[in-house]
Amino acid sequence: MAELATTFTTNPGGDYISLAREIARDMNPIQTILDARQINANEWERIQANPHFQRVLSAEVEAWQSANNVGERVRLKALHFVEEALPEFFQRAHDPRETLNAKTEVLKTITRLAGIGNSMGETGAMGEKFSVTINLGADQTLKIEKTVTHQVIDGVVE
The number of distinct structural domains making up the chain is 1
Residue-wise DSSP of 24-63? HHTSS-HHHHHHHTT--HHHHHHHHH-HHHHHHHHHHHHH
Q: How many residues are recorded in the chain?
A: 158
**pLDDT (0 to 100) of residue 44:** 95
Say if CB 23 and CB 30 are below 8 A apart: yes
Q: Note whether residue 107 is domain-resident.
A: no
Parallel, antiparallel, or unpaired for β 140-148 and 128-137?
antiparallel
Give the range of the structural domain holding residue 53, as residue numbers without chain letter. Answer: 2-65
Q: Note whether residue 114 is domain-resident.
A: no
- Per-10-residue mean pLDDT of the chain, 158 residues long, equals 45 75 91 93 94 94 88 85 86 89 85 68 55 75 73 64
Q: Note whether residue 46 is domain-resident.
A: yes
Q: Note whether residue 122 is domain-resident.
A: no
**pLDDT (0 to 100) of residue 7:** 44
Q: Note whether residue 80 is domain-resident.
A: no
Q: Note whether residue 39 is domain-resident.
A: yes
**pLDDT (0 to 100) of residue 157:** 64
**pLDDT (0 to 100) of residue 137:** 74
Say if CB 53 and CB 16 are below 8 A apart: yes
Q: Note whether residue 8 is domain-resident.
A: yes
Q: Note whether residue 127 is domain-resident.
A: no
SS3 65: coil
DSSP assigned state of 67:
G
